[in-house]
Each structure stands twice: as structure tokens, then as C-alpha cells.
Structure 1
């Protein structure tokens, strides 16, 4: 079985590739950037090139579609590129999958689509109108897969990721910024009271959740894959204090647009996929700090 991972050289994609290879699958990476390891087939290509995609889809049975403009800052600074890659790129992937009679496409979506919902949200929670261009394109991707299934019968699985952290994460992500500031003994800025939070998920747990989604029980399903702890900004700082000792904190007024965050229900993933995260936040943060120290 050949499994194609679009965006397989990125943060999440590279860890998914690691896990797939570890479990004995034949893996092919479709990305503009070379994978971080040599023992995987790489098709250098662009989502906006149908010719590139058709080269990549030969003999493929399952597709993990992770390639996207995922940095919200790039989405705002280059909106046309964001819409083209995330929407038209996904349409091109669907057309290639249909042409090559792929068994199923597994989409990397995001819990950001729940917007400003508070309390507990599940896959049944109504999706509000998006407040960010990036979120709008992720909602669009989900609807493309669902309507394509209705028109052409191509099976899908939509995975709504919580906020991932861990080795190889982008340096402009909150946890990465906080860790490096702690290492340099620089003050960490907290906006508001610090009780806003997210259901962070360690990248290894997220990769395992993706593997679990190969199950036939995930066919034509939408599933949250997130951490089972709601981690506030204050909690992150306190965990860093356990590692580094005293940490200076600078408090600033709340930023416009900030929201408290929601608790993401993963009950469906537990029941349907027999999956749940194994790495507690305190352990995952320590592992990430060790990684940064080794690569500084």
C-alpha cells in the first residue's frame, strides 16, 4: 500500500511520515521542500500543478492532505496565494484522487473552525462564520471533500487538529516563542489575565491520531484530534518555571480579537478510533525544551 502525504516535509507532515514508516507503510511525500529524511520517496511538486499531482498519485491508495498555507500571517499578507493553495490546491488533489481511484483522502483540518465558541465543542457543534481568511479556507476544504463525496463517491476523513507543539514546530508559534525567551532569560509577555488557553496536542500524539484514522470506521467521518487538557497561558509559564526556575513575566492589556478558548471534545476519536493522547503537557513541554537545547 502506497500512502501519499502532501506537505510531508512540514512540521506535522514530517512526523506523520516518521510514524507511517515506523509502522511499515510505503510512503511518498509530495512537497516543494525536500523531506527531512532520505529513506522516503519524494515527488517535488506544487498543489497548483495538476501535472505534478498526477505524477505523485500513481499507485496511491490513501492520501493524507496536509499541504496548505498554514501560517495565519502569510494568509493575511498573501491572501490570493492562501485561497489558491488551500482551495484550488485541494480541488486539484480531489481530481487526481478521483482519476487514480484512491481509496480515501484524509484531510488535515483545524479546531480553529469552531471560532469563538467557549465551553466544550464537539464535531456536532455548529460552525460559525469565519473571522479569519485562513479559517475560511479550512472550512472551504471540508465542504469540498463532503460535496465531492456526494457527487463522485470519493470517501474522505476530516481530522480537526488541536494546536500541535513539539520538535520541528515553527519558531513563531506561542510555545516555541515562550521556550526560547525562557532560555535567553527574556521576559514573557502575557496579554490579559493569562487564563486564555487551548487544547495543545504533542506532535507524536497527533501523528498517532492520523494513523488511527486509516481505520475503516473513520470513513466519511469528521473527527477531532486534540489534547485532553485545556492549557492556559499561565499554565505554560508555570511549567516553564519548573524547568528553568524563575521566569520574568510582563503583563499587557488583552489584545483585540483574543478569546478564552474552548475545550475540544475527543470522545468520538476515543470511541471510533480507540485513540487518545498519551503525552501529558508537562512531559511534552520538557521533551520540546530538550529538543531546542540540542538544536540551538
Structure 2
């Protein structure tokens, strides 16, 4: 056996249950983001491409009978993530922190004491968090505005 746990996954084809997808969608459609934790919460976002490569790597015999954590290599506070999204969109976002203690959000680490030791695998080559978020923004923008298509680097309306 090999037991896998993942950091905060994000990437293409996600739905509203995915945090990064929901944050980008809210920022694009409302100019605000609602977060049920605190601004200082720390996450290690991992792109699905990196997670899938790492998952295939873990199939090797050297990982047999182990607990493996697959995470990103760029720990980030959610407040900084929201600032990054706002900068990418070129606008000031309204951030609504709910600080809900029952939300299930951890503050700094998802780890809890367990008698069995796990190993952490961070893929050596990764999708940069900023580039990954830009890809999510592009995909979400296409879903929100299907009437626009990219032609020569510009968005043009197909409604003629």
C-alpha cells in the first residue's frame, strides 16, 4: 500500500468546490472574495499537473508501505494569495474574512499527531503558482464570457 495526502490542489477543469477556482470566479464576477478562515492561514497550493506527476512517481517500489504527502513548494498566506489575484486582475478586491471556527480550515498546518510517520514529496519541477492561477483565470473567463474568443492576443466578440 501507499497512502497519499495532497496539499491544496488547483488547476483546470475544477468546479466551485475548489478554493482557487472559487476565489478566481468570485473576483471576476463580483470583485470580492469571501473566505471562511483568517488572512494568516498558510497553504501549500499544488497544481494538478504536478500532483498527477508526483502520484505516478510514488507508484515506485521505494514508496511501498508509506504515507506520502504531496504538496506545492510555495507556502502562501491566503491574504497574499488574494493580493496576487487582485494584482493579476488589475483591480482592488474586497476580501470578506468570516473567521468561522467551524469551517474546518486549519491555520498553519494540516498535520495532526499520528503515531505513524509520513514523508512529504514536493515535485522538483512545478507549475509556478502565478502562472497556474493565470491559467485558471483564462479558463474561468472563457466560461463566464463564451461570446468572446481570443484572436491574435485580443478578446473579440463572436456575436455578430
- Taking structure 1 as the reference length, the TM-score comes to 0.41
After superposition, what is the alpha-carbon deviation per residue over 1:40-86, rounded to whole angstroms, capped at 9, x for unaligned? xxxxxxxxxxxxxxxxxxxxxxxxxxxxxxxxxxxxxxxxxxxxxxx
In structure 1, the residue matched to 2:62 is: 217
Higher relative contact order (CA closer than 8 Å, sequence separation 6+): 2
Structure with the higher fraction of residues in helix conformation: 1
Structure 2's unaligned 5+ residue stretches are 112-117, 145-160
In structure 1, the residue matched to 2:124 is: 276
DSSP 3-state at the match of 1:188: strand
What is the Cα deviation at residue 239 of structure 1?
1.3
Paired residues of 2:2 and 2:63 also in contact (CA < 8 A): yes
- Taking structure 2 as the reference length, the TM-score comes to 0.72
Which runs of structure 2 are paired with 1:28-177 in the superposition (5 Å)? Answer: 156-177=1-22
What is the Cα deviation at residue 285 of structure 1?
0.8
Judged with a 3 Å threshold, the aligned counterparts in structure 2 of structure 1 residues 185 and 227 are, in CA distance, closer, same or farther, namely same
DSSP 3-state at the match of 2:131: helix
DSSP 3-state at the match of 1:224: strand
User: CA RMSD of the aligned region, Å?
Assistant: 2.4
Question: Aligned pair 1:260/2:107, yes or no?
Answer: yes
Judged with a 3 Å threshold, the aligned counterparts in structure 2 of structure 1 residues 253 and 203 are, in CA distance, closer, same or farther, namely closer
What is the Cα deviation at residue 253 of structure 1?
4.6
Judged with a 3 Å threshold, the aligned counterparts in structure 2 of structure 1 residues 192 and 294 are, in CA distance, closer, same or farther, namely closer
Number of residues of Structure 1 aligned to a counterpart in Structure 2: 136
What is the rounded CA distance, in whole Å, between the counterparts of 2:120 and 2:32 in structure 1? 40
Match of 2:83 among 238, 242, 255: 238
Paired residues of 1:195 and 1:232 also in contact (CA < 8 A): yes
Structure 1's unaligned 5+ residue stretches are 1-155
DSSP 3-state at the match of 1:255: coil
What is the Cα deviation at residue 263 of structure 1?
7.4
